[in-house]
Structure 1
């Protein structure tokens, strides 16, 4: 019983060692038998993704044929690398495991999620089994499940697997460059506390001199003191209008007035003379009787 247990442990150790070697070996070795996937193999080498892949003991690569992958080869190097990272699953899947899935959806973690740039679930994939077929797509809400599982190209159980899908998966927001995280800032050294001697010798702060508030400007003073006196209205002397010149009608009226006055004056003179004569007669009459 102990011998069997020892042999099992040795076999497991050899299997793990062999698995580690297969994963650490470049991915192109797994693609060597399939010339129809040479473009994707070359892109893994160009983007240097074999280095981060070799750090994992369990990897599944979603491979796309040369004809299907041509739709993304014209992208920038940064975006192309990010897309390829979403085709590397941090778990093991082969035909046997996929056929054993029930009619449901599962979420798969990709290598892109380890960069820390994953936003809106674009570092995860959705794997859905429907009517006996398996579909892959981005886990971002609204993304289509348009990439269908075709076949398993290579598998080393629970270590490395390469399965073919019908078309590449492009999640939104994969055009961001991948940079290493910045180092944490160095802690600042605390300032030394002043000694009692320094505190005693420190000069006292000078009193703050409050500047007087600025007075009003000269123009303001001038406007306040110099008040213009109202100019009295000039009395316009009344102009004496000249007497109207005598007209012919006026002359006739004046002549008529003069003519009317002359008879009255003569009659009054005669009346006075008659009275005087009467008085004289009366006096002479009374004298004769005397």
Structure 2
């Protein structure tokens, strides 16, 4: 009898604990139609079942407009992306604000799957001092803090917390994520100046205006002013034969003068010879 009483008491305690810890994320979000698409995606991907099996959990929900970024993913990527919106601990606005570090890594449901790579299974949570905003983003290197805390939607301390964030968090590499940090465009090559082609060697030379066909042509009868004169025999002694002195007037005059001078000398000598001879006799 005592053993039966002990068994009944233990069963009741377990039931109370189970009832106290059980939650249904689908039922919670049904009360908020602005999260209807997000709620439907949780059920479609079976992530809702994973959430309901957890004792302590935080769900980061996005409204219908922001959830459209998730609805375009294929089934496998959708499950991964949704599991990143589930933190394996309880966080409400007060607990987030009390975190001592400005940046903290939070473990998600995707990390527990064993297929997360390159810190994709962690969230980077940062308190921005400039405006006191609470920011979230995937912890992959180079990923932006693409989502911000909006409000607490529903809580059951310290069992489940549902908070709203501004944007869906889709890690780079899932479904061509538009939030991926863009690569810098390649530096365009420097513009090159086309080289001037070689001038045609045999091409016609353009006539200048001064050499036009309308310029007057010198008459054939007029002497060319700049035409060189024909070489005369006097100008080219090497090429022309030597002329006789008889043909040259200047040469004749010289010879006459020499003949006259010679005759005078002979005459004078004869006269001197006669005088000397007379004196001797």
TM-score normalised to structure 1 length: 0.52
SS in 2 for 1:171: coil
Structure 1 distance, partners of 2:35, 2:27, is: 12
Once the two structures are superposed, the pairs formed by residues 1-290 of structure 1 within 5 Å of their partners are 16-22=17-23, 25=24, 27-102=25-100, 104-131=102-129, 132-174=132-174
Q: Residue deviations 1:95-145, cap 9 Å, x none?
A: 111222345111111111111111000011011111221000000011001
Structure 2 distance, partners of 1:36, 1:63, is: 10
Residues 20 and 172 of structure 1: CA distance in aligned 2, closer, same or farther (over 3 Å): same
Q: Residue deviations 1:170-223, cap 9 Å, x none?
A: 113446xxxxxxxxxxxxxxxxxxxxxxxxxxxxxxxxxxxxxxxxxxxxxxxx
Structure 2 distance, partners of 1:129, 1:15, is: 38
Moved over 3 A (4+): 12-19
Q: Residue deviations 1:33-79, cap 9 Å, x none?
A: 21000000000111111222222100100000001111221111111
SS in 2 for 1:71: helix
Shift of 1:17: 3.5
Structure 2 distance, partners of 1:51, 1:101, is: 29
Structure of higher CA gyration radius: 1
Shift of 1:14: 8.5
Gaps of 5+ in 1: 1-11, 176-290
TM-score normalised to structure 2 length: 0.54
How many residues are treated as equivalent by the alignment? 161
Q: Is the 8 A contact 2:127 2:134 kept in 1?
A: yes
Q: Is the 8 A contact 1:19 1:57 kept in 2?
A: no
Structure 2 distance, partners of 1:144, 1:16, is: 41
SS in 2 for 1:172: coil
Residues 81 and 127 of structure 1: CA distance in aligned 2, closer, same or farther (over 3 Å): same
Q: Is the 8 A contact 2:22 2:55 kept in 1?
A: no
Q: Is the 8 A contact 1:59 1:88 kept in 2?
A: yes
Q: Is the 8 A contact 2:43 2:49 kept in 1?
A: no
- Of stretches 75-84 and 95-104 in structure 1, the one that deviates more from structure 2 is 95-104
SS in 2 for 1:57: coil
RMSD: 1.9
- Of stretches 87-96 and 13-22 in structure 1, the one that deviates more from structure 2 is 13-22
SS in 2 for 1:129: strand
SS in 2 for 1:153: strand
Q: Which residue of 2 aligns with 1:196?
A: none
Residues 152 and 16 of structure 1: CA distance in aligned 2, closer, same or farther (over 3 Å): farther
